[in-house]
Amino acid sequence: MNRIYLILFATLTVLFTACGTGNGLTKAEREAQVTRQVQEGLDTRHYTIAVDWMKPLGGMARHVTSNYELKVNGDEVDSYLPYVGEAYRVPYGGGKGLNFKGKIENYTITYPTSNRSHIEFMVNNGEDVYYFRIDVFNNGKSIIDIIAQERDAISFDGEMKFD
């Protein structure tokens, strides 16, 4: 009987150990993997930031529930972001807002600290000129600040997605 308990205990120990490691990586290895993925996305200028919070100028932060995101693909940006704020001169009905595809101008990336990348670029979508400032941390967490000529500024919090 003791032998059965010993075999059962050994089997359960092996099972729990195997299941507990997930993909077999330690926490430090997973963090290093995410850091590599973030850097690779920034280096190739192919990355997507999924947004989960928006912070309008002078308004309260709001959780967003749809699949809002900002995609950078080389020299183009695909912006699918919500907008809340005052618009000064826009087409009747509000225009495109922050839902557009456009050509990136003046893309720069700097590394102010060892765990943060700072990206800046402009996009003219024919309706407004948008100045993007994005901070991406090694863990993929991101902050997007958008300043427009014809709208109030707005910020977003999100995280890089990896396919």
Residue 95 lies in domain? 2-161
Residue 4 above 60 pLDDT?
no
pTM over 0.85: no
pLDDT of the residue at 97: 85
CA 91 to CA 152: how far, in whole Å? 16
Q: Do β-strands 69-73 and 129-137 pair in parallel, antiparallel, or remain unpaired?
A: unpaired
Q: What is the CATH number of the domain that holds 130?
A: 2.40.128.410
Reported as a single tens digit per residue, the pLDDT across 18-45 is: 454 456 889 989 999 999 999 999 999 9
Closest CA to 79 of 96, 56, 95, 66: 96
DSSP characters over 80-126: E----S-BSS--TT-TTTTEEEEEEEEEEEEEEETTEEEEEEEEE-S
Q: How far is CA 137 from CA 50, 102, 119, 141, in A?
A: 14, 25, 11, 5
- Count of domains observed in the chain: 1
Residue 3 above 90 pLDDT?
no
What confidence tier does 113 reach under pLDDT thresholds 50, 70, 90?
Answer: very high
